[in-house]
Amino acid sequence: RIPTTKAGINPGVLGALAAGALAGWYFYSGEPTPSRDSWRKVNFHNVYKDIAALLEDEDYDDGSYGPVFVRLAWHASGTYDRKTGTGGSDGATIRFKPESGHGANAGLDVARACLEPLKKKYPHISYGDLYTLAGVVAVQELGGPTVRWRPGRSDEKISANCTPDGRLPDAAQGANHVRDIFYRMGFNDQEIAALIGAHALGRCHSNRSGYEGPWNASPTSFTNFFYTELLEDKWVPKKWDGPAQYVDKDTKSFMMLPADIAFKTDPQFRKYVEKYAADQDAFFADFAPAFTKLLELGVKFPEDAPVYEFKTLE
């Protein structure tokens, strides 16, 4: 039997698509580039269900595409610069080189390739809407809070408006760098501390970011474990040939990035870390609006664009 995801897609096909993306070409549905009003022709409840059906795949990573979908939505949106009004998810320039090849985006070709069949199934959805909705689906279906989302992003047709490299956080840096990146987008310390909690999901890969390992023992569940692990474990430098990172002293099974440790050592960030470690509901309540804000940065939505609060699948 040929293995497939829940949506009936052969993972081998996904691998071929990813290989194609790495070779420098990309996939288009053959339909005209969606306009800002094309979303009116899309049933987003059906899109949500189809994305959710893609999540589980025992042959990929820890068994779920959810973490890489969240990362795709984050990186497609987190390039926004409020001073210049450039970047963000509108335009979906992350699918073009050179932006797709920026170091911080290594491995996201896997997520884009996984979602490409849905772009063909729903040709009127923009890539910007598809990528951000995938992040919402992943957060919710992996146990996180309900995240409000609305459609209306348009797509750039060419790579001319790709954002410059360096707009996404550098994991090797500390609190000042983290603030510089997020303040540029318009976030405050509380929102920054809430967003970093998404590091409960997934793991780092040495062949992508250079770092290696999961943040906790449940990398496919959206929890407050990032905060509890950060505070409760003793973190020591990892002894290896890779970039500087930390591992838990007792088991050396989990890791933290230098930028993660800043949330423990910086007094302003730490007060939120302590709050969220003690109260997962408080974390969820703060994460959801911060994530919605991130996904909407720089987007000029139509006035009548509906706001969705999707129900998770039973």
* SS3 at position 246: strand
Quick one: angle between helices 66-77 and 108-121, nearest 10?
90
Structure token digits, residue 86: 């450039």
| Number of Cβ atoms within 10 Å of the Cβ of 303 | 6
HSE (CB half, 13 Å, CA atoms) of 73?
A: 27
| Number of Cβ atoms within 10 Å of the Cβ of 86 | 18
Please give the span between the terminal C-alpha atoms of the chain, in angstroms, as a whole number: 27
CA distances to 131, 240, 258 from 234, in Å: 36, 18, 14
Catalytic residue among 39, 74, 149, 215: 215
Asked if 177 is an active-site residue, the reply is no
Asked if 235 is an active-site residue, the reply is no
CA–CA separation, 303 and 300 (whole Å): 9
Q: Provide the β-strand partners of residue 91.
A: 155
Catalytic residue among 39, 74, 75, 149: 75
Which residues are catalytically annotated?
Answer: 75, 215
